[in-house]
Amino acid sequence: MRDNGKGGALTEVTFFVLLALHEPRHGYAVMRFIEEKTGGRLLLGAGTLYGAITALEEKGWIARRGESEDRKKQFVITAAGREIAQRELSRLRELTNTAEAIIGGEKP
Amino acid sequence: MNITRRRYFGGAMKSQEKFLNRMAAEGHRLVKTGKLTYEFAPCTPGQYEYRVEYIGHLSRENAEDYVSFLRDCGYQVFYKNINVDWNVGKVEYRPWAQKGGRLAANETTLHRELLIVEKEKDGKPFELHTDPADRVQYRKALLRPWLYALACALALSALFAVRFRSVPWAVAAVLALLGLLWILWRIGKET
């Protein structure tokens, strides 16, 4: 997974993991969150999700946060992760504004 | 009543996966693995499905953390060996593994190079690696042990070919070289 943290442009998986972890969640809950929010379009394999989570943990964008009631390891976004997610949101807004101005009036 | 099947697949992960999925389709759920054995308990035919994954390149901590993550995701996970040698206190050097996993011992991932992951069927696809970049990383991890094995085979067979002026060893060296080039090409293609 390659993310360009400085200039924005996160991968879709990274951005969704960061969004999911705005509240503490364990791995399965993250999978369900992404599946639900994309209407089943993005189904993440557990191996892929684990790779994404460990990469984000190494970058300091997310952190472990104890265990849930059913003793599953939980993760949560950090201040650095929130800043990255906010920056990505701004980048996407700018992109959609540009696209809207150019092709927004066109009928598909 | 539980049944036991004796099988040895070595590193043939797809064959092992097919065997386990066939057993599950016939109503046998995996409950225990041995070096050469698989123990199954009765279940509804087609209730479970299996994937086999290589983890020999991971450090002990990362392997255990990954297994715990998979269990948190609701999967049943079994360790499985690739080799069948019985020993205690053996240490194996794996230059292709990540830091912390290069010295594999009985206490780490030696004889626990594979994971068998079981999921209860829910109508959704069951793949452990779904992202293209992640798949590339995983395929590279699978190819690296072959790279080192073929490099060693090439060095030894070339040495014997020169030392003994032997045609069979020279042929072996050429075959090892071709294999090595093929693996390098595959790794390059994945990058």
* CA–CA dist B139, A63 (Å, integer): 28
Q: Which residues of A touch B74 (CB under 8 A)?
A: 28
Q: What is the 3-state secondary structure (H, E, C) of A38-80?
A: CCCCCCCCHHHHHHHHHHHHHHCCEEEEEECCCCCEEEEECHH
| Whether A47 contacts B128, CB under 8 Å | yes
Q: Is the domain of B45 the same as that of B139?
A: no
> Among B62, B133, B134, whose Cβ lies nearest the Cβ of A47?
B134
Q: Is the domain of B115 the same as that of B137?
A: no
Q: Is the domain of B113 the same as that of B156?
A: no
Q: Is the domain of B113 the same as that of B184?
A: no
Q: Which of B73, B120, B129 to mutate to test the interface with A (most CBs of A within 10 A)?
A: B73
Q: What is the pLDDT of residue A108?
A: 61
Q: Is the domain of B65 the same as that of B156?
A: no
Domain that holds residue B157: 133-190
Q: Is the domain of B111 the same as that of B139?
A: no
For residue B157, CA distances in Å to A79, B171, B174, B176 come to: 56, 9, 9, 8
For residue A41, CA distances in Å to A32, A89, B23, B162, B188 come to: 12, 20, 31, 59, 30
Q: Is the domain of B116 the same as that of B149?
A: no
Domains along chain A? 12-102 (1.10.10.10)
- Domain-terminating residue out of B102, B128, B154: B128
Q: Is the domain of B147 the same as that of B118?
A: no
**Averaged over A12-37, what is the pLDDT?**
95
| Whether B55 contacts B109, CB under 8 Å | yes
Max avg pLDDT among A84-88, B52-56, B61-65, B85-89: A84-88
- Domain-terminating residue out of B128, B152, B175: B128
User: Cα A86 vs. chain centroid, distance in angstroms?
Assistant: 11
Which among B13, B11, B47 has a CA at the least distance from the CA of B30? Answer: B47
The 10s digit of each residue's pLDDT in B39-80 is: 999 999 999 999 999 998 888 888 999 999 999 999 999 999
Q: If you count residue pairs, one on A and one on B, with CB atoms under 8 Å apart, how many are there? A: 59
| Whether B57 contacts B96, CB under 8 Å | yes
Q: Is the domain of B119 the same as that of B142?
A: no
Q: Is A13 on the interface with B (CB under 8 A)?
A: yes
- Chain B residues in contact with chain A using a Cβ-Cβ cutoff of 8 Å: 53, 62, 65-66, 68-70, 72-75, 117, 124-125, 127-131, 133-134, 137-138
Cβ atoms within 10 Å, residue B62: 18
Q: Which residues of A touch B69 (CB under 8 A)?
A: 27, 46, 50, 53, 73
pLDDT-based confidence at B85, cuts 50/70/90? Answer: confident
Give me the half-sphere count of Cα atoms (radius 13 Å) on the Cβ side of residue B92: 22
Q: What is the pLDDT of residue A38?
A: 95
* CA–CA dist A15, A33 (Å, integer): 12
| Whether A41 contacts B125, CB under 8 Å | no
Q: Is the domain of B26 the same as that of B120?
A: yes
| Whether A1 contacts B131, CB under 8 Å | yes
Q: Is the domain of B93 the same as that of B137?
A: no
Domain tally for chain B? 2
Q: Is the domain of B120 the same as that of B95?
A: yes
Per the CB < 8 Å rule, is A1 touching B133?
yes
Residues in chain B: 191
**Averaged over A62-77, what is the pLDDT?**
87
- Domain-terminating residue out of B110, B128, B146: B128
pLDDT-based confidence at B23, cuts 50/70/90? Answer: very high
| Whether A94 contacts A87, CB under 8 Å | no
State the average pLDDT for chain B. Answer: 88
Q: What is the 3-state secondary structure (H, E, C) of B73-130?
A: CCCEEEEECCCCCCCCCCEEECCCCCCCCCEEECCCCCCCCEEEEEEECCCCCCCCCC
Q: What is the pLDDT of residue A82?
A: 97
Q: Residue B50 phi/psi, 5° resolution?
A: -130, 150
Cβ atoms within 10 Å, residue B189: 9
